Structure 1
Amino acid sequence: MNDTEVVKALGALAQESRLRLFRLLVVAGREGATPGRMGEALGIAPTSISFHMKELLNAGLVSQARDGRHIIYRAQVDAMNDLLGFLTANCCGGEPCLTTPLPVQCTSC
């Protein structure tokens, strides 16, 4: 990731509803979730979900796929891991200090 991509991703997550939506999609895993399911789970109006998902899509943090009449959103776990890797790349003054992978590395997503 470069600085511009990181700022875009952090900006997208720096809003409470978008952060909640992203976290819900991380929990949903590969199955993803429809806007209706997300709205019911989080108490967010469908029109607001569309607005927020556009921001997360633009930041590369989620993907969307059509399934019949439904849109399924999924968290882009690789993008999340790249973001966290960028933020922690120099956590010990450039020395490799993490002896284990970051706990957020999701291999089953």
Structure 2
Amino acid sequence: MGALIGIVALLVTLVAVVAAAGHGAYLGMLTSAAKKRPGGQPVVEFARKRLPVTGVTLAVTVVALLIALGGGAGADVFAMLLGAGGGAGALKALQTTQTKFRNNDY
């Protein structure tokens, strides 16, 4: 039973790390494309404003992954909760970033 909880915790935290890294990659892509275009400085500033959110969610999910790799059923449950929260926050932040960018709300 403990091994099953460990595997689920590992999967949950890996998905959360991928979601947080995806938000960072999206911001990096926006920044890179905006730097190549004339008049893209507002988009670069917008992406820089969103970077702290990305850093926090990525840090939380990586900590959750490290806890999940550490062992123990209690630690695995805590890692799942922490990873799911961080992953959900990263996903919501990514959706907010995409919506604001598409609506020119930066």
The normalised TM-score by structure 1 is: 0.28
Higher relative contact order (CA closer than 8 Å, sequence separation 6+) = 2
Q: Which one has a bigger Cα radius of gyration?
A: 2
> Higher strand proportion, which one?
1
> Higher helix proportion, which one?
2
The normalised TM-score by structure 2 is: 0.28
